């Protein structure tokens, strides 16, 4: 995500949405399964799945959806799960057996990593980084030889209907200073360029593979879509986020409702980017 994220506001929103996250995180759960499939095909996964005591770091563990898979598939691994929200971690603890995961409430961007890991995994979290390149560099530096990092995030094109409707609404009501409303995401090329630059100063060789796709979700109304975003805590948490004028909001909803319909429902595009980095 482009722009400075207000981490205190983000934490507050995730804490508030912890109880509704699992119900509304449809896309994020689908991304988890695709990420798992990619991990299972990798050489890093095949190695650590037979390695007792393999060290695993999960970033943005949320309510524990991916965490549950990790401890099931890697019962002998030493798993650390990090999340910004203590409320999310509280729910995750209820899903896993006691003492099987070391949960940490922290911002991974600020956290000092003292261990080295065989596997680093993250689902739908990297878009919240303020220093994407620097954080990737830190994480990859913490990988053991032949270790792997697997993550998913959102790329430019996510919520394109919302961005389009806001832009048209601003023009229609004659706003001279066009503003961007809602989250803005990195282009695929920019994200990969930052990854490569973050790896360039590290010793050793790395292999990078990725996939990107569009996931179009349908909702009964624009407000249902906006509610689903709010219920997972993913509404705009950028520093200095603008307060939307009621007239602009009404105009945006009207344009969205008229311009982005499929079979009687409004559409919302998500554009997940899944990346594998293996240290050779």
Q: Which residue has the tokens 């109880």?
A: 19
Q: What is the pLDDT of residue 1?
A: 54
Residues in the chain with pLDDT < 70? 1-3, 176-183, 237, 239-243
Contacts of 205 (CB under 8 A, 6+ apart): 279, 280
- Integer CA distances (angstroms), 171 to 144, 166, 168, in order: 52, 9, 5
Helices (H), the chain: 7-24, 26-41, 43-48, 65-73, 86-95, 132-141, 160-172, 188-200, 222-231, 246-259
For the chain, what are the domain ranges? 7-155+184-214+271-279
In whole angstroms, what is the distance from residue 34 CA to residue 215 CA?
12
Q: Which helix (H) or strand (E) holds 42?
A: none
Q: What is the pLDDT of residue 180?
A: 57
Other beta carbons within 10 angstroms of residue 246's beta carbon come to 8
Q: In this structure, which CATH number among 3.40.50.150, 1.10.760.10, 1.20.1090.10, 3.40.50.620 belongs to the domain 7-155+184-214+271-279? A: 3.40.50.150
Other beta carbons within 10 angstroms of residue 140's beta carbon come to 20
In whole angstroms, what is the distance from residue 182 CA to residue 145 CA?
39
- Asked if residue 9 lies in contact with residue 237, where contact means CB atoms within 8 angstroms, the answer is yes
């Amino acid at each position: 995500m482009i722009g400075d994220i207000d981490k205190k506001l983000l934490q507050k929103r995730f804490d508030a949405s912890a109880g509704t996250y699992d119900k509304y995180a449809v896309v994020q759960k689908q991304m988890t399964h695709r990420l798992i499939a990619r991990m299972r095909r990798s050489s890093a996964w095949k190695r650590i799945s037979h390695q007792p005591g393999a060290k695993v770091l999960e970033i943005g563990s949320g309510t524990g959806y991916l965490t549950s898979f990790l401890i099931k598939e890697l019962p002998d691994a030493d798993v650390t799960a990090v999340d910004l929200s203590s409320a999310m971690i509280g729910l995750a603890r209820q899903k896993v057996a006691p003492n099987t995961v070391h949960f940490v409430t922290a911002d991974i961007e600020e956290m000092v990593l003292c261990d080295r890991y065989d596997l680093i995994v993250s689902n739908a979290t990297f878009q919240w980084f303020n220093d994407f390149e620097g954080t990737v560099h830190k994480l990859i530096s913490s990988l053991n030889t032949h270790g792997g990092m697997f993550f998913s995030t959102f790329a430019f094109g996510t919520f394109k209907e919302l961005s389009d409707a806001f832009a048209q609404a601003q023009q229609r009501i004659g706003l001279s200073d066009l503003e961007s409303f809602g989250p803005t995401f990195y282009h695929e090329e920019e994200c990969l360029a930052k990854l490569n630059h973050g790896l360039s100063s590290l010793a050793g060789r790395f292999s990078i593979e990725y996939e990107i796709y569009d996931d179009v979700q349908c909702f009964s109304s624009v407000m249902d879509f906006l509610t689903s975003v709010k219920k997972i805590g993913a509404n705009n948490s950028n520093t200095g986020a603008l307060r939307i004028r009621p007239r602009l909001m009404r105009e945006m909803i009207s344009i969205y409702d008229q311009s982005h319909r499929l079979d009687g429902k409004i559409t919302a595009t998500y554009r997940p980017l899944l990346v594998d980095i293996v240290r050779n």
